[in-house]
Amino acid sequence: MDGTEKRTDALQATVDPSGVARGTSQTDLEKAVSDALAKAGRDAKTLEAQQAKLEKDAADLTAKQIAWQRQREEEEEEAVADDMPALQALRDRRARKAAEESKASELAERESKLAKRETELADMIERDRTLQRTQLASEIAVEKGVSLDAILKLAKADTREAMEEVAAVLPKEIGKHPPMRSAPGETLGGGEISEQDKLKRRYPSMYKK
């Protein structure tokens, strides 16, 4: 065995199958997590700064466009200042154009608001479906003493029959099943954090009284 092989074996001996050095202490792990969070924070600040710059650039461009348009209108009016019918026709065209642009802008705003409401409604329906599905699966998991996550993963439909069919072939996990809640804040059984608890934390507004 040459020196290279010895160094390779020594390196492999210091690393467990999970990829973490066996000599790594809790302090080292906490520092690694802290460093990762700090980097994420710096990245977030960088993105915020970039977004702020993009918004400022857009505002500056809009201001320049408005100034250019005003200058152009002044030049057009100066060109026909001695011809009142032509000047009036020019102003009438501008008024019609402004009215059309305002109408188009209002229509676009209404369509945007409608699309936003449709998205919010779809999200609300999906959250309600997920909540009901998880509540039913949690109830069956408690009754049968099996894994809630397994039911949610394997059930081919959101019906009680489909979930009970899965639960019937799952191994028992007595003492490990999550608590079932009949209402927010009411626990009917003990165990680890349930999927419903995760939903409660993720969507707290759904559980407000």
What DSSP string runs through 34-82?
HHHHHHHHHHHHHHHHHHHHHHHHHHHHHHHHHHHHHHHHHHHHHHTTT
Q: What is the per-residue pLDDT for 39?
A: 77
Q: Taking every pair of C-alpha atoms in the chain, what is the biggest distance, in angstroms?
A: 102
What pLDDT score was predicted for residue 161?
A: 93
**pLDDT at position 119:** 93
Residue with tokens 């074996």: 9
Residue 91: phi, psi to the nearest 5? -70, -35
Number of neighbours of residue 15 by Cβ within 10 angstroms: 13
**Per-residue pLDDT, 200:** 57
What is the three-class DSSP state of 203? coil
Q: What is the pLDDT along the chain (209 residues), one digit of tens a residue?
A: 555 444 445 434 444 444 444 444 567 666 676 777 777 778 888 888 888 888 888 888 888 888 888 888 888 888 888 888 888 988 898 889 889 989 999 999 999 999 999 999 999 999 999 999 999 999 998 988 888 889 999 999 999 999 999 999 999 875 554 444 444 444 444 445 555 565 556 555 555 54
Task: Give me 152's structure tokens.
Answer: 């949610």
Q: What's residue 109's pLDDT?
A: 92
**pLDDT given at position 154:** 92
* pLDDT at position 187: 44
Q: Coil, strand or helix: which one is 181?
A: strand
pLDDT of residue 194: 55
Q: Residue 42 has what pLDDT? A: 81
Going 29 to 34 to 37 to 39, the CA torsion angle's sign is negative
